[in-house]
Amino acid sequence: MPISKEAGPHDMTPVPHTFAATPQGAVLAAVTAQVWMAGADDDTWPKVAEYLLEPGPGRDQWAQARALVSVKGMVKNPAEFIGFKFTSYAEDKAIVLLAVRWADGMLTAYPVQLSSLTGGWRVVIPPQGSEPDLSEISNTDLDTFVRFNP
């Protein structure tokens, strides 16, 4: 999980949170939330919802669904975030398109919506039925992204 002295996360307890009100802070918030949503154990996921997700119907639905499964241990073969680009950015909202390499080598991208309306960047989870799809991308498409590890 990426960390920046300037952009955050500035607080690490109970989960990494508090990101700078900058584009860099938005990117770090997007990646951090994805990592913790996918890997938080049964004791930690409520804090993920509280600290990393914007209040709303999508967050409530995510929490209801998450409560129905049990996660213990490490995620095997996790996806690797390899790049990003903004599809929109304003002081209080942003959409970051994250490029991901999966364990099987497939490259995908998906948008992560963020808001800072409740203080600091948090991910806005879309309500069920309006979630964005993963889009498969090529190595050529990847050239249009800012790479995390150039």
Domain ranges of the chain: 23-147
Work out the pLDDT band at 37, boundaries 50, 70, 90: very high
pLDDT of 69-108, one tens digit each? Answer: 998 877 788 899 999 999 999 999 999 999 999 999 999 9
For residue 96, list its beta bridge partners: 86, 112
Collect all residues with Cβ–Cβ distance below 8 Å to 59 and sequence separation of at least 6: 49, 53, 125
Give the integer Cα–Cα distance in Å for 118 and 124: 11
| pTM of the full structure | 0.93
Tell me the per-residue pLDDT of 130-140, one tens digit each, with 9 for 90 and over. Answer: 888 889 999 99
CATH 3.10.450 fits 23-147, yes or no: yes
